Amino acid sequence: MSRRIKLAIPDLISNSYFPAVAAVELGFFREEGIDASVELVFPVDKAYAAMRDGAVDFVGGSAHSALSAFPEWRGVKLLCAQGQGMYWFLVMHSRLNCRRGDVNCVKGRSIGAAPWVDLGLRQLLRAAGIVEVRDDVRIAPVPGAQGAGVNFGVTAARALEAQKIDGFWANGMGAEVAVRSGTGTVVLDVRRGDGPKECFNYTMASLAATTRLIETEPEIATAAVRALVKTQKALRADPSRARAVGDRLFPPAEAPLIVPLIARDLPWYDAAISPEFVSGMNQFSRDVGILKGNPDYTDVVATQFRDVWNG
């Protein structure tokens, strides 16, 4: 088996989709007989649209965002998880003296968030009793984050430092850059228990493919899942392997940060996608208006790869 494939991700200088990127850069796709390349396609809805239109073969992005290009989960399925749980952070400017877990700190503030990523924050705030209009919470794209090749989290950290925004909802790399500079304070980290409990299952970093690819080239889909599972296992065994990937792909300032970020993410490196997760994501998707029905677990997840999830 030898096949060239394109893998789209919506953010590169990030830990969010690092397992998918590392599966390419560390050679695990190649071990499976696949010549894979990574393409940065931002925002995430454009990545899924590119897969729908045949421009890319896989998307490593936020699971719920598949609905942007595949309404009601028609024509797409999740192959496996890159990591469990909603993985974005709410970071506020340090001058505001916000306390960890204090969701009310967003009142009267401007928060930067990417399209489709913002849905997680909006629903989290509703679940916490905050009404955007009443409480004057202004959630919008980060200034300067629309250009090709721009990486959202780092751009958000820079916008926060310049006080163009009061806070942002973005990936762990953006949070780390802001905290290390002294500009930002982490207020919410859902994976580690902050915010309403149900928020954990709003979304996850996943690997997705079209049902057409899964049905016509099941060996390619299987190989992709196997490559990602091998990558998770390799990083769990030695997180320092992430540095080689960072040195090749990241700017010099961010490259050294990737190893501690990956080491921190390891507890969530599990390729399985549970029925409980899909139920929670479906409810979230209905709540934010991107899903009307209640698709079954097997409508959302390519369950034929369950044995591969376990290695």
Angle at 24 between CA 22 and CA 310, to 5 degrees: 70
Q: Are residues 154 and 284 in the same domain?
A: no
pLDDT digits (tens, 9 = 90+) for 108-157: 999 999 999 999 999 999 999 999 999 999 999 998 876 545 678 899 99
Q: Are residues 43 and 131 in the same domain?
A: no
pLDDT digits (tens, 9 = 90+) for 226-265: 999 999 999 999 999 999 999 999 999 999 999 999 999 9
Neighbours of 59 (CB within 10 A): 34
Q: Are residues 81 and 211 in the same domain?
A: yes
Q: Which residues, other chains included, contact 307 with Cβ-Cβ below 8 Å and sequence gap of 6+?
A: none
Question: Pick from 182, 200, 218: which residue ends a domain?
Answer: 200
State residue 147's pLDDT score: 59
Q: Are residues 103 and 134 in the same domain?
A: yes
* Contact call for residues 65 and 114 (beta carbons, < 8 A): no
Supply the DSSP symbol for 239: G
Range of the domain at 134: 89-200
Q: Are residues 62 and 45 in the same domain?
A: yes
Q: Are residues 159 and 116 in the same domain?
A: yes
- Tell me the CA distances in angstroms from 46 to 49, 67, 224, one per residue in order: 5, 12, 21
Domain count, the chain: 2
Q: Are residues 118 and 213 in the same domain?
A: no
The mean pLDDT value for 56-64 works out to 98
Question: Pick from 178, 200, 222: which residue ends a domain?
Answer: 200
Q: Are residues 212 and 239 in the same domain?
A: yes
Q: Are residues 110 and 37 in the same domain?
A: no
CATH number assigned to the domain comprising residue 107: 3.40.190.10
Q: Are residues 63 and 125 in the same domain?
A: no
Q: Are residues 223 and 74 in the same domain?
A: yes
Q: Are residues 217 and 233 in the same domain?
A: yes
